[in-house]
Amino acid sequence: MHCSCSSNMGPLISPYWSQMLFPDWAYKPAWSQGSRQVQLWHFLLELLGRGEGGVITWGGEWGEFVIQDPERLAKLWGERKGKLHMNYDKLSRALRYYYNKRILHKTKGKRFTYKFNFSKLILVNYPSLASCHRSGNSLPFSRLFSEGSHYSPPVNRAQPSVSHPLLLPYCFPKSLLFSQPNPNQQQFPFLSALPTSAAHISEFLCLPPFNSSLHHGQNLTSWPTKHSAEWSFNRVPEPSQMDDREGQEARRQKM
DNA sequence: ACCGGAAAAG
DNA sequence: CTTTTCCGGT
C-alpha cells in the first residue's frame, strides 16, 4: 500500500492513493478534524487528473471544469465516502460551500461548469506559502496559475481530457519551504502533470520526492510520515482569520 | 439548474 | 471542521 517509488516517500493513505496527484502530507493532517478524510476537491482534481471516464473534464478556461455526468460523478463520490444515496443535488451543495472559501466558483451561464481558484486552494492548504508571498517573494503558484500564457484551452472535446496542465506542489520538504523561498527565481519542485495520456500520470507519481537539483544542500532526509504534529503550521486558517496574515504568522514558527 | 439556510452527521 | 441531508426559493 505504499508508493513503492521512493524510500523516503511517506506512506500513502491507501492503495487507492497511489494514483493520487498529491503526496500523503498534502492531505488533511492527522491532527485536524476529519483527518484522512478525502475532500471533495481532492476527489475532483483526482478525476480530472486521471481524465478517465469523461465524467468530469477540464473546461475552456484555466481551472474550469465541466461535470459531464453529474449523477455518475455523485455516485462515484458517494462510493468513495460510503454515502450510498449521494446525488448531484447534494454534491453540488458541497461545491457551493466552496464558494465562500474561494476555492471554487461557478461559471455562470455554463451548465455544470465550475472553476477552481488554484491560488486560493493552495493558499488555504499550504498557508506557509503565504508567507513567501507576503515577504515580497513571488508566490510560484499564483504566478504560474495566473499567467496562463502557455495554456491554450482545449477546443474540442474529442481530445483526451487531460489537456489541462496540473501544476501542483509535489514535494515540499519543510526546510526548503521555510529557508529561502525562491531566491533566484528558482523553480519549486512542481508536479507538472502534462500527460498526453492518463497512463503517464503514474510515472509522475513515481518520481522521487525531490530531485538533486533542488536539494539546496539542505537536510532533506525523510518525510515526516509519523509526526504529523510537525506539520501543524499547515493549519487551515479560521474563516474569520482568512485574511489575517499575522495570525498565520503567529502560527507558523511551529516548525 | 442553481442558490444558500438550517440542522445533523461523523 | 467538512460535508450530508433536506428543502424553500430564484
Q: What was the pLDDT predicted at A179?
A: 29
**Which of chain C's bases lie under 7 Å from a protein CB?**
1-7
How far, in Å, is the CA of A104 from the C1' of nucleotide B2? Answer: 15
Find the nucleotide nearest A110 (Cα to C1′): B1
How far apart (Å, rounded) are the C-alpha atoms in residues A160 and A151? 15
The pLDDT score that the predictor gives to residue A51 is: 80
Task: Measure, in angstroms, how far nucleotide B9 C1' is from residue A105 CA.
Answer: 26
Q: Which of residues 14-33 of A touch strand C (CB under 7 A)?
A: 33
pLDDT of residue A118: 84
Put residue A82 in one of left, alpha, beta given phi > 0 → left and psi -120 to 50 → alpha: left
Helix/strand/coil percent split, chain A, to 5: 40, 10, 50
Contact between the CB of A156 and strand B at under 7 Å: no
Separation between the CA of A92 and the C1’ of C8 (whole angstroms) = 17
Round to whole Å and give the CA distance between A55 and A75. 11
- What's at A152, amino acid-wise? S
pLDDT tens by residue, chain A, 255 residues: 333 333 233 333 333 333 344 444 444 443 455 445 788 998 998 898 888 788 999 998 888 999 999 999 999 999 999 999 999 999 999 999 999 999 999 999 999 999 998 877 766 665 555 554 555 443 333 333 333 323 333 333 333 333 333 444 332 222 223 223 333 222 222 333 333 333 333 333 322 222 222 222 223 222 232 222 322 222 333 333 333 333 333 333 333
Integer distance in angstroms from CA A199 to C1' B3?
38
Q: How far apart are CA A249 and CA A237, in angstroms?
A: 11
Distance, in Å, from the CA atom of A22 to the CA atom of A225, rounded to the nearest integer, reads 14
Any atom of strand B under 7 A from CB of A85?
Answer: no
